[in-house]
Structure 1
Amino acid sequence: MLFFLAADLIAAENEERCLRLACFSEKYSVGAPGEPLSLVSASRYKFWGFSVYSVALYQPDGLIKDWEEHPLAFVLHYHRTLKPEDFLKTSRKLMAKNPEYANRNDESSLLKFSSFIQEVKDGDRYTLLYSPEGTLKLIFQGQVLGEVRDKVFARAYLGMWLGKFPVKEDNRDCLLSGQFEG
């Protein structure tokens, strides 16, 4: 009996939810003591009709509206090749729309974070781990590449998807309302 119970627990930990082009595990362990984060939503981002990436949002205890106040994991599964300079160019453009960040006149956190970014190809995954204290950690294919400790930067960077000035409002609304689209 115990054998079957253990097998059921392993299966439950490996459950996934799938969008059209990517599957995401139901739980995300951040590698630190505490509860694993739960998959709460996912969406596929398209540009000019082409799929660029699918993204999944993980939070503790299900969907939380005030995402800035809680730890989260943000997993991006890419469907296209993108170069590091593409990330920096797009980040600058999108973060400039956010008055809280744009008025700082300090790009040091963005430049440091961008220095961790590598080229991605179809099937590659980045994970952004956010803490409400202001740490944003970048993970590529399961390997930690670096982190930046800057609360305003961390919120503005994730704000490109979840904030008031997102890359696409439809994707943001999907992610913050617990939907799975794409």
Structure 2
Amino acid sequence: MRHLVFGLMLMLSITAQANEPNRLRQADFPTHSQALVLKNQTVLTYLWADVYAAALYAPPDLNAKQAWDQQAALRLTLYYFRDIDRNDVIKAANTTLARQHISNRLKSEVDKLHAAFRNIHSGDRYALDFRPGRGLDLEINGEVLFSSSDNELAKAYLGIWLAPKGLSERLLE
């Protein structure tokens, strides 16, 4: 029985990997976004279901890891393949932030950012756009719904995806 379960898991994971190029085409990320260049993209699959495609943009003269390490301009765009309740997204974000041991000082800023969240519908695009000197913007379908000049918040929140053991740290490869 254990071999059957393992075989099914392997087949499904291979299918998910084979589907990634199709999902990235569906997300249709542009090669440039607001003077930044597409550095990497990936699909998050959870329990064999594609949840979102993620794209990371950074300055043309830096690779993704350098931009992250230097706190240079970054834009993380998520294209969702399925509907997700905003409370589930907030719970997952808070769990990841707690695991990454973010500062308690950021709790009120994180709560303000979360207050801007909406229920996610298939086809929605969320973006976190960080610019040194300006700070972090949260965009939903192209509309800025939250802004903060707190660089520590930007690093912590982008870290949900980009920090070690983040949800999409492959974007830094």
Per the shorter chain, which TM-score range?
0.7 to 0.9
Q: Quick one: which amino acid aligns to residue 150 of structure 1?
A: D
Contact preservation (8 Å) 1:112, 1:148 = no
Partner residue in 2 for 1:15: none
Q: Which has the higher contact order (CA 8 A, sep 6+)?
A: 1
Contact preservation (8 Å) 2:137, 2:146 = yes
Partner residue in 2 for 1:80: 82
Rate the CA distance shift 1:94–1:54 in 2: closer, same or farther, 3 A.
same
The unaligned stretches of length 5 or more in structure 1 are: 1-17, 30-35, 178-182
Q: Which has the higher helix share?
A: 2
Contact preservation (8 Å) 2:57, 2:64 = no
**Distance in 2, Cα, partners of 1:176 & 1:80:** 25
Partner residue in 2 for 1:41: 40
Partner residue in 1 for 2:73: 71
Contact preservation (8 Å) 1:44, 1:54 = yes
RMSD across aligned positions (CA) = 2.0
- The structure 1 segments of at least 4 consecutive aligned residues displaced by more than 4 Å after TM superposition are none
Is 1:22–2:18 an aligned residue pair? no
Deviation string, structure 1 residues 119-164 (Cα, Å, up to 9, x no partner): 1111110111012447221111111111123222211111111112
Partner residue in 1 for 2:154: 154
Q: Quick one: which amino acid aligns to residue 126 of structure 1?
A: Y
Seq. identity, %? 30
Rate the CA distance shift 1:75–1:98 in 2: closer, same or farther, 3 A.
same
Partner residue in 1 for 2:107: 107
Deviation string, structure 1 residues 68-101 (Cα, Å, up to 9, x no partner): 52011111000111122112101110000112x1
TM-score normalized with structure 1 length: 0.75
Partner residue in 2 for 1:129: 129
The unaligned stretches of length 5 or more in structure 2 are: 1-22
**Distance in 1, Cα, partners of 2:130 & 2:97:** 17
Partner residue in 2 for 1:116: 116
Partner residue in 2 for 1:98: 100
**Distance in 2, Cα, partners of 1:148 & 1:93:** 21
